[in-house]
């Protein structure tokens, strides 16, 4: 079942980080892609734990600054409470600087560091502890919905689904993180496709970690049929990227250009995924006759 919880205006959002999606506003940077285009990126930040096994939110923030994207979707933002993280850090004898990194709320830290508006997704409970998705953007967030993609009690999944106001038009953006099993992804894609059909009248961007590595018998085919094929680019593992787990789609009336994997030295170390970045040319706004 797909949850379509629509709060309409941002003032109506509940601040409960353990249930509803949450929006936070911060001073907006002056950078941008220019009229008629938007730059987007998707990045699985692996709870800010790098290949050196150090949890470093500041390093992740620096990678995101390198991307210079108008809209970024994040997966695997640590959703555990600071109390639990501090307890674990003390238990394993972490040094002071690591305890300080653990004490940060990763969503709040990244939102404040990056500026703009930030949407926290629902807390997803899994075998490795709680995590969440996030969307950070320079554009105005108009509407927020929640898409429930959970199929079992073992590991919950969900997606952020927002309407952004970009250059005077509404653009729908979905940030998702799908499951590891084939059957699970098939059902989650079916739910996403039903959600996509609900607003055929506006440009749509879908991005995230879709955990699909197979190039020929892809569980993502139904989404390709509706939005056009998402060109796979290898983003995992970060050290030697071979698998195209992270994808970006745009609806057929928009055009994905300059799609690439961000391979800076910092990005190769900061997470087990590399970010995927794209410029999307938007269609001109439709004016009433």
pLDDT digits (tens, 9 = 90+) for 13-59: 333 333 345 566 544 434 445 568 899 999 999 999 999 999 999 99
pLDDT digits (tens, 9 = 90+) for 80-139: 655 555 555 555 555 555 555 666 889 999 999 999 999 998 777 766 668 899 999 999
CATH superfamily of 10-24+32-281: Endonuclease/exonuclease/phosphatase (3.60.10.10)
Q: How far apart are CA 192 and CA 252, in angstroms?
A: 16
pTM: predicted TM-score of the whole model, two decimal places = 0.83
pLDDT at 256 over 60: yes
Per-residue pLDDT band at 200 (split at 50, 70, 90): confident
Query: What's the token pair of residue 266?
Result: 């910092």
On average, the pLDDT of the chain sits at 81
- Specify the pLDDT at position 260: 95
Q: How many residues does the chain have?
A: 289
Q: Give the range among 176-185, 242-251, 256-265 with minimum mean pLDDT.
A: 176-185
- Residue 162, Cβ neighbours under 10 Å: how many? 23
Residues 56 and 50: beta-carbon distance below 8 Å: yes
How far CA 115 is from CA of 32, 112, 138, 145, 167, in Å, comes to 13, 5, 8, 22, 19
Q: How far apart are CA 140 and CA 52, in angstroms?
A: 36
Q: Where are the domains of the chain?
A: 10-24+32-281
Query: What's the token pair of residue 123?
Result: 């807390």
Contacts for 93-100: CB closer than 8 Å, 24+ residues apart: 98/54, 98/55
Per-residue pLDDT band at 253 (split at 50, 70, 90): confident
Tell me whether strands 129-137 and 124-126 are parallel, antiparallel or unpaired.
antiparallel
Residues 205 and 250: beta-carbon distance below 8 Å: yes
């Amino acid at each position: 079942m797909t949850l379509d919880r629509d709060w309409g205006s941002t003032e109506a959002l509940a601040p409960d980080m353990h249930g509803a999606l949450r929006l936070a506003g911060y001073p907006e940077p002056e950078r941008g892609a220019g009229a008629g285009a938007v730059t987007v990126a998707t990045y699985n930040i692996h709870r800010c734990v790098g290949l050196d096994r150090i949890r470093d939110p500041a390093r992740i923030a620096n990678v995101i600054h390198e991307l210079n994207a108008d809209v970024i979707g994040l997966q695997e933002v640590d959703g555990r409470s600071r109390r639990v993280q501090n307890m674990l850090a003390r238990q394993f004898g972490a040094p002071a600087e690591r305890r300080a990194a653990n004490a940060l709320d990763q969503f709040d830290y990244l939102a404040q560091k990056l500026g703009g508006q930030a949407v926290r997704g629902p807390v997803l409970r899994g075998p490795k502890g709680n995590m969440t998705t996030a969307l950070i953007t320079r554009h105005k967030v108009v509407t927020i919905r929640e898409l429930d993609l959970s199929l079992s009690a073992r590991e919950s999944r969900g997606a952020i689904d927002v309407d952004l106001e970009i250059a005077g038009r509404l653009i729908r953006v979905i940030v998702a993180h799908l499951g590891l099993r084939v059957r699970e992804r098939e059902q989650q894609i079916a739910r996403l496709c039903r959600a996509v059909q609900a607003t055929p009248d506006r440009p749509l961007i879908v991005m995230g970690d879709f955990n699909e590595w197979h190039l020929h018998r892809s569980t993502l085919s139904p989404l390709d049929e509706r939005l056009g094929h998402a060109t796979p680019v290898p983003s995992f593992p970060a050290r030697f990227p071979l698998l195209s787990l992270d994808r970006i789609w745009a609806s057929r009336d928009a055009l994905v250009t300059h799609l690439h994997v961000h391979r800076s030295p910092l990005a190769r170390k900061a997470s087990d995924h590399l970010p995927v970045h794209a410029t999307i040319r938007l269609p001109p706004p439709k004016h009433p006759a």
